[in-house]
Every structure is written in structure tokens, then in C-alpha cells.
Structure 1
């Protein structure tokens, strides 16, 4: 365990907690966490997860912009959007194809010890992050599945603080799902 990993874990937890509460501060906090985790994953030879942190930085800027342009200033100002069947299907298929291509590259060109798991989890994490940026409640369900698999991956790589963090993420994702689902139902009744 390094100080960098511990700091990244704490900031990541804070970022997810702030996202569940629909607070704008989630974006800069999560951005710093992603930069720190990029280094942690690179040194652990989890190259897809290291690259994922770079992609996350782009997704975080996108989400920050999305939430800002919707005028979200407080907990109740941010409206949750329903996820259409088309968007869900497209996202799941893109995650599968992207993960497959990424796994092929990792297996062929790197010494990643778990190329398929690394690639698929990274690919679907991008889908979940984009769904969160677009404020789809279903993003939290995807995070629960992804985070559960990540706990196992990180345990096998000896990243114990990160494995614990992702176990905490499962609980935070459940909390986020319940909060966002309630907000979505309120939005549907009002609008």
C-alpha cells in the first residue's frame, strides 16, 4: 500500500459520495482521484485501468459540463433522466465490443496479467461513467456489478486498500441508486 493509493482511495470515495448526493463538487474531487489512480494502476501493470483513468478525466470534464449547463446548483436542481432501451442496448454493446478489442490489444502487446478482466471492466466503466454524466439512474446498477468484479481483481493484484474502497463503492452505489431513483420518480410526478 502506498500513500498515493490511500489518498486516491479516499478521494474516490468522497467523489462517489458527492455524486450520489448530486453535488457539483463530485467532479473536481473525482478528477484528482482519477489522476492519482492512473499512476497507481500503471505501476501495478493494470494498463487498461491506467488508461481508463485518462478516459475518466475526459468523462469527468464532460459530466461537470453537463451538470453545469443544466443549471444544477443544489441537491434538488439536478434532474435525473430515464435510460431508454436503445441507449441501454447501445451502451452494453459498445462496452462488449470495446472491451473485446481492448483485451486483444492488452493480451498481445502488454504484460497485463488479466487482460480480459482488465479490459472488460474498464470498458464498461466508461459506459457507466457516461451514463452518470447523463444522469441515468441505471448507471448505479452497472457500478454495483463492475465494483463487485473489481474487488476480486484488485485482491488478486495485491491492491488491498483499493479492493476495500471498491467494496465501499458497492454500498455507495446502492445509496446512489436509491437516491437517484427517488429523485427520478419525483421528477416524473412533477414533470
Structure 2
């Protein structure tokens, strides 16, 4: 049995929303994505494996929709999730005084590198998507990819400002996915913005109260 035959059931319509079929892939991406962001906001270590599953669903979904940069981004997210999982449980590296990584602010040096990398990445991806693919939204696909990578780096390192980067990305994702007729995913990203605000507030409280251990107990 080929891989295509195995994945085909996930691509079948489950129901119709606004006259547009919604596949199992989009529904599973919706559920796992919402759970992942909620767990991140609570600093729960389980966000990383749940996030990896979410990335797999979105690789399939975005490839079908011609959002190639977003599809490739999910592969990078899986690698970053492995890194984030390690840093959250080891305090950021050997010799750390705490086992759990505490919430911190993004340094000026980090901001400089993040903004430079984001600008270069957006430009390079826009040119690549415009010339090498049939993407109808090369700039917006590239911009959201760059913002998401910047935010994920901050999330891996528990930088407070990573929530602001996610909010900025979500403000573009919502209309982008609606334009691509991924209406359920667009609604999901509206929910993500709400969870980002809650996560921002929660991490800000943790920053004010000092380092906290990662919450490993299940709810």
C-alpha cells in the first residue's frame, strides 16, 4: 500500500463550511493546534509532542492548498519542537542553575538578529515562491513563515515577546487562510490570537514572580 493510499482518507471531506468541503486533515489540525497553544500558555511540556502531531497535519493541508512555504515551515517546526522540548526540560543547557527554563525578556541582541533574519527570510522566500511555485500569495506566505519562525525561537527560549510575534503572524494568517478557503483554519487562528493574549498575560505574571518550573503534571 502506497503512502498516498494511507493518507487519502485524511484528505476526504468531513463536512461543508460556507459551501467549502472541510477535510479530516483540517479538523485534526484545528483540534491539535488549539490544544497545543493552550498547553504552551500553561507552560505544559506536553505542548511539544502535540505540536509535532499538529505540524504533520498541516504539512498535508497546506500542500493541498498551495501554501508551500507554510507546508515547509511545518518541517522546521518539528525540528524546533525537539529543541524546545529539550530546552524546557533542561533549563537551556548544561550548567543551568534550574531544571526548568524560566520566562525571560528578549534581549536587544536577540531582537537585532531576529529582525534581520526575518527581513532576509521574507525577501528570499518571496522570490523563491514567486519564481519556483504556483503560489498566488508569495509575499504573505513568506511573511507569515518568517514571523512564525521568529515566534517559535522565542517560544523555545521562553521569551515573553514571542507572544507578540505570534499575534502579528495570526493577524495575517486569519485573512490569508480565509482567502484560500481554509475557513476552519482561519477560525482556528482567531482562537489562537485569544490564546496568545492569555499566554502573554500568564507569562508576564511568571516573569514578575520569578523563575517557575515547567508544569509537568497533567490537568
TM-score surpassing 0.5?
Answer: yes
1:62 is the counterpart of 2:83: yes
Kindly indicate which of the two structures has a greater share of residues assigned to strand. Answer: 2
**How is 1:172-183 mapped onto 2 (pairs within 5 angstroms)?**
172-183=195-206
Give the SS at the match of 1:112: coil
Give me the whole-angstrom Cα distance separating, in 1, the residues matched to 2:147 and 2:114. Answer: 8
Hey, what does 2:125 align to over in structure 1? 102
Structure index of larger Rg: 2
After superposition, what is the alpha-carbon deviation per residue over 1:114-164, rounded to whole angstroms, capped at 9, x for unaligned? 000001110110110011000001000111111011001001000001000
What is the DSSP-based 3-state SS (H/G/I as helix, E as strand, rest coil) of the residue aligned with 1:165? helix
Q: Is the 8 A contact 2:38 2:195 kept in 1?
A: yes
Give the whole-Å Cα distance in 2 for the aligned partners of 1:42 and 1:180.
34
Cα separation, 1, equivalents of 2:146 and 2:72: 10
C-alpha RMSD of the superposition: 1.4
Residue 43 of structure 2 corresponds to: 22
2:181 to 149, 158, 168: 158
Alpha-carbon distance in structure 2 between the residues aligned to 1:26 and 1:47 = 24
TM-score, structure 2 normalization: 0.81
1:113 aligns with 2:129: no
32, 57, 79: which one aligns with 1:11: 32
Please tell me whether residue 44 in structure 1 is matched to residue 65 in structure 2.
Answer: yes
Query: Is the 2:58–2:74 Cα contact (8 Å) retained in structure 1?
Result: yes
* Long gaps (5+) in structure 1: 72-76
What is the SS of the residue equivalent to 2:210?
Answer: helix
C-alpha contact 1:92 1:124 (8 A) present in aligned 2: no
Structure 2 unmatched ranges of 5 or more: 1-21, 93-99, 212-219
> In the TM superposition, what are the counterparts of 1:115-154 in structure 2 within 5 Å?
115-154=138-177
Query: Secondary structure of 1:45's partner?
Result: coil
Is the helix fraction higher in 1 or 2? Answer: 1
Q: Measure the CA separation in 2 of the matches of 1:176 and 1:109.
A: 37
- Tell me the SS of whatever aligns to 2:158: coil
Number of equivalences: 184
- Alpha-carbon deviation of 1:98? 0.6
Contact 2:89–2:101 (Cα < 8 Å) also in 1: no
